[in-house]
Amino acid sequence: QVQLQQWGAGLLKPSETLSLTCSVYGASFSGHLWTWIRQPPGKGLEWIGEITQGGSTNHNSSLRSRVTISADMSKNHFSLKLGSVTAADTAVYYCGRRVATPVHVDLWGQGTLVTVSS
């Protein structure tokens, strides 16, 4: 069964860097694209960015300068870093497997709540 398991620090101080990793189990990592989506408490879903099989990335322009998405195929995982976090970055962060066409998520990670607080 294909699963995505994500982990990372759940409590950060303002200006620190958020770092999350999503491991892929039961699927070919290199055969798919991968994405990150977040959801502030009580709010809707916001796309953060994605990474292709070839390592190319694309980010939400509202976050682009702070976002780094990378992948390690040897470890079957991909990662998200978001720099200079503020309270506005408090959210549940989800990793997902991205389908090429039509563009959507067909498999979700369990979500990680990241809280930014001084």
Partner 1 sequence: NFMLTQPHSVSGSPGKTVTISCTRSGGSFVSNSVQWYQQRPGSAPTTLISGSNLRSSGVPDRFSGSIDSSSNSASLTISGLKTEDEADYYCQSYDTVNHLWVFGGGTKVTVL
109 near partner 1 (CB under 8 A): yes
111 near partner 1 (CB under 8 A): yes
Query: What phi and psi, each to the nearest 5 degrees, are found at residue 68?
Result: -130, 125
102 near partner 1 (CB under 8 A): yes
Query: Residue 31 is encoded by which pair of tokens?
Result: 């055969």
Query: Residue 40 is encoded by which pair of tokens?
Result: 């502030």
Distance CA 7, CA 24 (A): 12
Among 46, 53, 68, 76, binds partner 1 (CB under 8 A): 46
Among 60, 76, 90, 115, binds partner 1 (CB under 8 A): 60
63 near partner 1 (CB under 8 A): no
47 near partner 1 (CB under 8 A): yes
The structure tokens 């101080």 sit at 13
Given its phi and psi angles, is residue 116 left (phi above 0), alpha (psi -120 to 50 degrees) or beta? beta
Give the footprint of partner 1 on this chain (CB under 8 A).
Answer: 35, 37, 44-47, 58, 60-61, 94, 99, 102-111
